[in-house]
Structure 1
Amino acid sequence: MTDLTVNLKNGDTSSEDSFVVLSDTSSAMSKVRVGAVQAEPGWFDLEESVEKTISLINQASEKGVNVLGFPEVWIPGYPWALWTNSAIDNGEMVHKYMANSLVRDSPQMRRIQQAVKDAGMQVVLGYSEREGASLYMGQSFIAPTGEVVHHRRKIKPTHVERTLWGEGQAESLTTVVDTPFGKVGGLNCWEHLQPLLRYYEYAQGVQIHIASWPAEFCMPDPKVMAWQYHETGEASYRASQFMAIEGQTFVAIASQILTEKNLERNFLVGKPPIKTPGGGFSMIFGPDGKPLAEHLEDGEEGIVIADVDLTDIDRAKTFIDTVGHYARPDLLSLLVNPSADSCITMMKK
C-alpha cells in the first residue's frame, strides 16, 4: 500500500490538516476517529438488518470514521423476549430468529465486507451467527480491505441467553487485532464483567476497544416487578467506563435502541422492564475513563463519534499499567488454554 494521507474535512489527500496516515508497513499515526453505533436493528429480518448495517457504514464513512463498532447481535437484533416470555411462548420467535441469523460465509456478509472495503475503515460487527443448526453471539473484525481478519464468539452467553446461543471456544479468547488505526479489541455485553477475560485483552495490547451491548433499560418500578441494577443501561455504561480506566484503553460503547412501533414485532407489548423509546447508552471513553463524545438521548438513533490520540494511552499508563509496571506476576497471574475443543477427535492407529 502506498503512503496516503486522508483528510477528514474534505477528502483531500494533501492538506496539513490530515488525520491518519497509512503506509506499506500498516503502521498508524496516533490520531484516529472512532465511531459507535446507537441504533435500532432490523428486527428479526436478515435483509433489512444487512441493508441498515451498510447504510450506517456509509454514514460513518461520510463522517470520516476510521474505526466503527456495532452492538451485540446487531443482526438481527437482541431478542429481549428471551427474558420476558416463557420458553414455550418463545418457540415461534426462536424459529424466526434462527432463520434470520447471519451465516459468516454468505452473500449477506460479503455485501457488508464490500461496504467496509469501499469505506476503508475497520469495523467490529456484532451479530447472531448461524453455523448449521446452531447459533453463536459472534463478533467479526473486518479490515479496511474487506477481509474478516478475526472472528470470535461470546465465550459464555448470559443466563437465559444459553437457551439460544452456544459458547465460543479458545479462538474467542483472542479479542484484539492489529489494524492501520491501532490495536482494536472487542467484547460482547457481560464479557465486560469477566475480569480474567478483560485482563487477557489488556495483555494483547488493546488501544481501542469496542464494547458491544444490546438495548438495556432503566430500573422498573419495584411494585411492578423485581429487577437487578446490574441489568440496566446505567450499570453497563459504568462497566464499560471502568474497563477504560482499568485497561488504560479507549472504549467505544455501541448499543441498540427499541421504539414503540417495534414492541409487537419483538413480542414485548406490555412487558416490563422494556421502555420505549429507550435502550441506548452509547459513549466513547478515554484511557482515563473520561467521556469524549456528545451524549445521544436514550432512544435516539445515531453514531457517537470522537477523535482520539493513541499517545494519550501513555499518559494513563504512567499511573497504572495493569499488565506492566502495576502487575505482580510473582503473586498473581492468569492461566490461558489456547486450544479449542472439538466434538470429534480422530484416534491415531
Structure 2
Amino acid sequence: MDIATGDEKPIRVGAVQAEPVWYDLDGCVDKTIQLINQAAADAAKFWASPKRGFQVPQYRADSVARDSPQMKRIQAVVKKTGMFIVLGYSEREGASIYLAQAFISPDGELIHNRRKIKPTHAERTIWGEGQAESLKTVVDSPFGKIGGLNCWEHLQPLLRYFEYTHRVQIHVLSWPSMFVMPDPEKISWLYHDIREADQRISQNMAMEGATFVICSSQILTEEGLKKNSILAGNPVTKVVHQQLQLFCLPGGGFSQIFGPDGSALCEPIGDGEEGILKADISLSDITKAKIFIDVAGHSARPDMLSLLVNTKAGKLVTMMDM
C-alpha cells in the first residue's frame, strides 16, 4: 500500500494446472522451472502448484529430498524471479515419503515445509503422516499471510479453523487430478471424489475463511496413464489404474482462483489443458468479506466452542531416568 495516498497495489497471483513428468525427477524439475519463468514473464508475484502424487511404489525414487540439488535449482529460479511460490511435491526423507508443500520466499529461501498430516485412503499405503510442525499452515510474506493445505486436508474442519485463527489472506489448495462422475453402469463412484465436489470444497474455503484461495490442480493425459500402466499389475495400483481407464482423458484439472466472498476470479481452462490461471487481487477485499463473517473474529463464540491444539512435536526416542 502507498502510505501517502492510501492506494493498495494489486497482487498478481497464479494457479498452475499441469501434469508432472512421470518418473523423471530432473524432467519434472525442469518443467517446474519452466512454469515459474512463464508466470514471472506475466508479472506474477505469487505462484502455486498442484499436489504431485500417484499411488505407486516406484514413485518413491523420484520423490524430492528437501535439501537436495533439485530443490535448490527451484529455489534459485524463485530468487531470480522474485516470486513467492507454494510448491506441492512428494518429499523424501530417508526411506519414507510425504505429501508436502514447500513455501519458498522471493529471496529463494525455503521458509517453511509442511506435510499432509493424514494421507487419504489408499495414500496411507505409500505416504507417511506429517507431525506437529505441519500444523503450521500460515507464513508471513511480502504479499500477505500465505497458507496452504493438501487435497482432502480441506475436509478437516478443525485444521481449517486453526488456519483461520492465524489470519490467512491467500490460501493455496494443492490438488491431484479429479474427474467427472463416471458411468454408473460401469462403476459405483462416490460424489465427494469427483471434480465438482472438490471445486465446491475449494470455494467453501474462500467463503468460510474470508480469504483468497488459489486452487491448483494436476491433469492426467493418455500418455501419463500409459506411463503408469506398467504398474497396473501391482496389487496397490491395480484398482486405481482400472478406475482411471473409465475416465475421459486428458482431464482431471479444475484450477481456479476464488475471492474472499467465494466468487471465481478467472475463466477456467479446459480440464485436460495445461496453463497458469492468473488474477489481480487486493487484500482489502478481505476486510469487506469479514464485515459479514469472520469465523475467528466477531463471528466466534470461544466461551462456548473452542479448539485444543497440541503443537509439541513427537520424538522417535525419549530417554527416561529410572
Question: What is the TM-score of this pair, normalised by structure 1?
Answer: 0.85
Q: Is 1:58 paired with 2:31? A: no
- Contact 1:30/1:311 (<8 A) preserved: no
Give the corresponding residue for 2:151: 189
**Partner of 1:126 in structure 2?**
88
Give ranges in structure 1 of 5+ residues lacking alignment: 1-19, 22-27, 83-92
1:42–1:49: 8 Å Cα contact kept in structure 2?
A: yes
Name the SS for the 1:263 alignment partner. helix
Partner of 1:200: 162
What displacement does 1:269 show? 7.0
Distance in 2 (CA, whole Å) between partners of 1:270 and 1:206 is 37
1:153 to 84, 90, 115: 115
Distance 2:315 2:64 in 1: 22
Deviation of 1:343 (Å): 1.3
Separation in structure 2 between the aligned mates of residue 273 and residue 329 of structure 1, nearest angstrom: 47
Q: Tell me, in whole angstroms, the C-alpha distance in 2 between the residues paired with 1:347 and 1:273.
A: 55
Q: 2:50 matched to which residue of 1?
A: 71
**Structure 1 residue 274: Cα displacement:** 3.4
Q: What residue in structure 2 maps to residue 310 of structure 1?
A: 283
For residues 271 and 155 of structure 2, what CA distance do their matches in structure 1 show? 23
Name the aligned partner's letter for residue 156 of structure 1. Answer: K
User: Is 1:48 the counterpart of 2:27 in the alignment?
Assistant: yes
Distance across 2 between alignment mates of 1:272 and 1:231? 16
State the Cα deviation string for residues 251-306 of structure 1 (Å, max 9, x = none).
Answer: 01000011112211022477444330100000000000000012111111100100
- Which residue in the other structure is 1:320 paired with? 293
Post-superposition shift, 1:347?
2.7
1:222-301 → structure 2 map (5 Å cutoff):
222-267=184-229, 268=241, 271-301=244-274
State the SS of the aligned residue for 2:177. coil
1:169 is matched with: 131
| Identity in percent | 60
Residue 32 in structure 1 maps to residue 11 in structure 2: yes
Partner Cα distance (1:274, 1:160) in 2: 19
SS at match of 2:291: helix
Cα distance change on mapping 1:62 and 1:315 into 2, 3 Å: same
2: CA distance between counterparts of 1:271 and 1:59?
Answer: 30
Aligned to 2:141: 179
Alignment partner, residue 117 of structure 1? 79
Partners of 1:56 and 1:348 in 2: CA distance: 54
Equivalent residue letter for 2:21:
G
Number of equivalenced pairs: 307
Matched with 2:232 is none
Structure 1 partner of 2:314: 341
Matching residue within 207, 210, 214 for 2:172: 210
What code does the residue aligned with 1:217 have? F
One-letter amino acid of the counterpart of residue 322, structure 1: V
Alignment pair present for 1:98 and 2:71: no
For residues 135 and 252 of structure 1, what CA distance do their matches in structure 2 show? 25
Deviations 1:19-70 (A, max 9, x none): x88xxxxxx9552111000011111211111000000000010011111111
8 Å CA contact 1:187, 1:210 repeated in 2: yes
Separation of aligned partners in 1, 2:290 and 2:243: 48
TM-score when normalising by structure 2:
0.92
1:345 and 1:215, CA in 2 relative to 1: closer, same or farther beyond 3 A? same
